[in-house]
Amino acid sequence: MGQIAENLARVREELAAACRRAGREPDEVALMAVGKVHPVEFMEEAFAAGQRLFGENRVQEFEAKAERVRALGDVEVHLIGPLQNNKTAKAAALFRAVDTIDEAKTAVRLGAAAAALGRVIPVLIEVKLSPEETKHGVDPSALTTLLDQVSVVAGIEVRGLMTVPPWSEDAETARPYFRRLRELRDELCVRFATVRELSMGMSNDYGVAIDEGATTVRVGTAIFGRRPAPDRA
């Protein structure tokens, strides 16, 4: 077995164990493999090991991989990095879903591009739960307003929330952020019935995220190995 297949098997086992600890079914949590910076061969290897759901951070980087990834057949690739307003048409053509909407304008443009392609693109709203300036996402206080605006846009459907907590060695540091995102989802889904998904948890804290209700965990390093510097995004 190749290294990536081995890593995937281990992560799937750990994911199932985390589900058991949390009293959840393993099929309630989707494993998204994040191959940013790595060559497309890594995605092909993961695909050969049964992986079908992938996350990519940059529109342009995935554009270069897209043809070979499409050739694999049954794959689902989400954009999990920031979407610039001038890349919405490209994103609509390349990705199955966009998990990082944090602005009405981007949603409107993406929706128009999707509608022009005869598609409805599932989106997540990225929420900023820490005051760090560099983090993307909408402030929780602006979430209802944004959902009011975005939920009426044709061509997209809001499926849930996504967050990236501040990076820490200690997975427990992320727990309050994950919990907060779940609470926000629980409040919002009363009014916005399609808001169900929680995309949260990465290589070093996905167990905690599952504990707190994640429906998708986004795992890069634990599957594909360390990324070459300078990326720690």
Ligand X SMILES: *Cc1c(COP(=O)(O)O)cnc(C)c1O
The answer to whether residue 60 forms part of the interface with ligand X (CB under 6 A) is no
Give the residue, chosen from 104, 203, 208, 209, that forms a contact with ligand X under the rule CB under 6 A. 203
Helix (H) or strand (E) holding 34, with range, is strand 30-34
How many residues touch ligand X (CB under 6 A)? 14
The answer to whether residue 185 forms part of the interface with ligand X (CB under 6 A) is no
In terms of CB distance, is 96 or 151 closer to ligand X? 96
**Which residues on neighbouring strands pair with residue 33, listed in sequence order?**
54, 219
The answer to whether residue 160 forms part of the interface with ligand X (CB under 6 A) is no
In terms of CB distance, is 122 or 155 closer to ligand X? 122
Q: How far apart are CA 58 and CA 127, in angstroms?
A: 19
Q: Which residues contact 217 (CB under 8 A, 6 or more apart)?
A: 15, 29, 30, 31, 32, 199, 200, 201, 202, 206, 209, 210
The answer to whether residue 146 forms part of the interface with ligand X (CB under 6 A) is no
The answer to whether residue 80 forms part of the interface with ligand X (CB under 6 A) is yes
User: From residue 59, how far is each of 1, 77, 232 by CA, in Å?
Assistant: 31, 11, 18
The answer to whether residue 170 forms part of the interface with ligand X (CB under 6 A) is no
Give the residue, chosen from 129, 195, 202, 214, that forms a contact with ligand X under the rule CB under 6 A. 202
Whether 61 and 36 have beta carbons less than 8 Å apart is answered as yes
| Binding to ligand X in span 6-45, by CB under 6 A | 34, 36
The answer to whether residue 144 forms part of the interface with ligand X (CB under 6 A) is no
Closest distance to ligand X from the beta carbon of 191 (Å):
26
The answer to whether residue 219 forms part of the interface with ligand X (CB under 6 A) is yes
Question: Phi-psi bin for 226: left (phi > 0), alpha (psi -120 to 50), beta?
Answer: beta
Q: Where are the beta strands (DSSP E) in 108-155?
A: 121-126
Task: Using CB under 6 A, list all residues that contact ligand X.
Answer: 34, 36, 57, 80-81, 164, 202-203, 218-222, 233
